[in-house]
Amino acid sequence: MKDIKFDWINFYTEFATKLLFYKEHRNLLIEKIQSVFEAIHMKFPTLEKDNPLRDIDPFTIFSLFNKNIKESNRIAILTEIAKSFAMTASVPQNFDAIPTVNNLKATFYAFQGEREASDIDHLWEMFSAALAYADNKTEQNKAQFAKWFDVVTKQNGVKWNITMGLYWIRPYHFISLDSRNRTFLCQLEHMPQNFVAAVDGFKQLPSGEQYLWICDLSLDMMQNKSYAYHTFAEFSYHAWLYTTKQYQKMGKPHRFSILPKQQIKHIRKIQTVYQKTDFCQEVYLSEQTYETLMQLLKRKKNIILQGAAGVGKTFVATRLAYAMAGKKSETQIKMIQFHQNYSYEDFMMGFRPTDTGFALKTGVFYRFCKAAEQEKHKPYIFIIDEINRGNLSKIFGELFMLLESDKRGTALHLMYTEEAFTIPDNVYIIGTMNTSDRSLAMVDYALRRRFAFFALQPAFLSDAFQAYQKQIQNEKLDKLIDCIQNLNDAIVQDEMLGEGFVIGHSYFCSKETIDNIYLSAVVEYECIPLLQEYWFDEPQKIQYWSDRLRSAIQ
């Protein structure tokens, strides 16, 4: 690619910031922008059909100089804007990688009488939410961006062009999904196969959350050092070259490994954005329970999902992490499992043998926190499966204090290096704990108060599980589940057991065909051995419930 500085970016970014002042002073903005055209003796575009201009949005302001007009005219407009708005950035002299609007449809709203009274107000809200999110990527700003994106894309006059407007105002943060870029993004020779499959040819305008996912994934890929374009501007320029058939003359960027062409049609469309609805569909928990879990995680930073075997603790933990991250991310989510030999050296850092002696090696949680520090605007979720299988005091060491939600960002010196270490505020920890294993120690009380504990119960009575039962349509399965529920009542009432020892629904959830062989295996090799562990000193109870379980599937 030729040496291009994209010197328009600083000007466009500064101008967008200055426009925010005029959100509450739109009459003044109209006067100023009209005076710009008067000063250079250029006819002001018609923005209202047979009506004087009464209101305008910031994206339409940008479209006034991002149309198919002579470059000299664009420079003249921007030169006068620089004077009128006291710009400090230099007036750009080239406009490479800037998508332009159709000259006949330059507004981001419909004509008066064809639009709702609030349409232009909504565009200003979208504009301010976009600037806020680009400048500070908090969860609250992300939610506001997605909200207003979904609002304005339902308005007359707004479709894919809103992504172009977002790119104009913050080109380092938002990708333009104009027709050229969409064409380029859908080519397997330019983008990874999972991305191409996920966007599915851009058959419909994405939601606000989906659009931000596209932006994030594209940025993540562009940070690859072997990738030819590392910013949205460079990407947009390559897309322009490709679609104007100049691409091959200029040389191709790095290509990803792709499937043979004959296999492309077999690529399965994968899930990209992961939201509350996805969680509630996959996990047999109510929407209210989801909200409770998410609020606990955000407030406390650390939660433990506890319950008996088979209630889906690990499954819920991973899906909650997906929902927190907004996608199934390999970088933002990490899972490990504690065991009796797990140590501080595995978790944080310690000396390990090498060919020549010993060397200090960092542990998995240390590396995870360092990665999270580089992307503080994104949530990073660390899952510890079977958290109470490890010696927690030994594993966490001096991290006890840093785990507290109000101590995030506080530094403590590590014992091996004296390094000032912090757990970033965007790190969340989800642990799982089996309450029915007698061999496990209780969680250390000092650690317990740093976690919120949420007990998961069998979901046999949930609407989602009952819908699953109806879908299976197996009478023996239905009888067995009725028997298991009665068995659970007996377990709860047992003074030596209780709710922490019930049998969960996961035993009966499978992608395999649920037939007589499957049900018999669950009863004989999973449920009955569990009862033999529970009532090892009460053989009569074991025999009674074993007979009832077997008879349910006869």
Q: State both tokens at 490.
A: 């007996």
Name the least confident of 98-112, 122-136, 469-483. Answer: 98-112
Q: How far is CA 128 from CA 22, 135, 145, 199, 286, in A?
A: 11, 11, 9, 27, 34
Residue 533 backbone phi and psi in degrees, to 5: -75, -45
Q: Which helix (H) or strand (E) holds 194?
A: helix 193-199
Q: Is the pLDDT of residue 429 over 70?
A: yes
Q: How far apart are CA 109 and CA 154, in angstroms?
A: 11
The predicted model gives 233-260 an average pLDDT of 58
Q: How far apart are CA 286 and CA 242, in angstroms?
A: 48
- The order of strands in the sheet holding 302-307 is 333-337, 380-385, 427-434, 302-307, 452-455
Q: Is the pLDDT of residue 291 over 50?
A: yes
Question: Do 306 and 454 contact (CB within 8 A), yes or no?
Answer: yes
pLDDT, residue 2, reads: 47
pLDDT, residue 446, reads: 65
Map tokens 């002299």 to a residue: 93
Q: DSSP E strands: which ranges in 386-517?
A: 412-413, 420-421, 427-434, 452-455
Q: Is 60 helix (H, G, I), strand (E, B) or coil?
A: helix
Q: DSSP E strands: which ranges in 308-400?
A: 333-337, 349-353, 358-362, 380-385
Q: How far apart are CA 422 and CA 218, in angstroms?
A: 29
pLDDT, residue 389, reads: 84
pLDDT, residue 379, reads: 93
Map tokens 């939201």 to a residue: 275
Q: Is the pLDDT of residue 415 over 70?
A: yes
Task: Give CA angle at 462 (460, 468), nearest 5°.
Answer: 75
Q: How far is CA 16 from CA 62, 169, 402, in A?
A: 9, 5, 40
Q: How far apart are CA 488 and CA 309, in angstroms?
A: 12
Q: How far apart are CA 175 and CA 191, in angstroms?
A: 15
Q: State both tokens at 133.
A: 């999110």
pLDDT, residue 6, reads: 83
pLDDT in tens, 468-527: 888 888 899 999 999 999 999 999 998 888 888 899 898 888 767 788 888 999 999 989
The band of 37, judged by pLDDT with boundaries at 50, 70 and 90, is very high
For the chain, what is the radius of gyration of the CA atoms? 30
Q: How far apart are CA 512 and CA 501, in angstroms?
A: 26
Name the DSSP class of 171: T
Residue 528 backbone phi and psi in degrees, to 5: -65, -45
Name the DSSP class of 389: G
Answer whether 0.75 is exceeded by the pTM.
no
pLDDT in tens, 380-390: 999 999 888 88
The band of 270, judged by pLDDT with boundaries at 50, 70 and 90, is very low
Identity of the highest mean pLDDT range in 30-39, 200-209, 354-363, 372-381: 30-39
Q: Is the pLDDT of residue 187 over 90?
A: no
Q: Side chain identity at 552, as an amino acid letter?
A: A
pLDDT, residue 547, reads: 93
Nearest to 319 by CA among 305, 309, 307: 305
Q: What percent of the chain has pLDDT over 70?
A: 88
Question: Which sign, positive or negative, has the C-alpha torsion 212, 213, 217, 218?
Answer: negative
The band of 73, judged by pLDDT with boundaries at 50, 70 and 90, is very high
State the chain's mean pLDDT as an integer: 85
Q: How far apart are CA 412 and CA 168, in angstroms?
A: 43
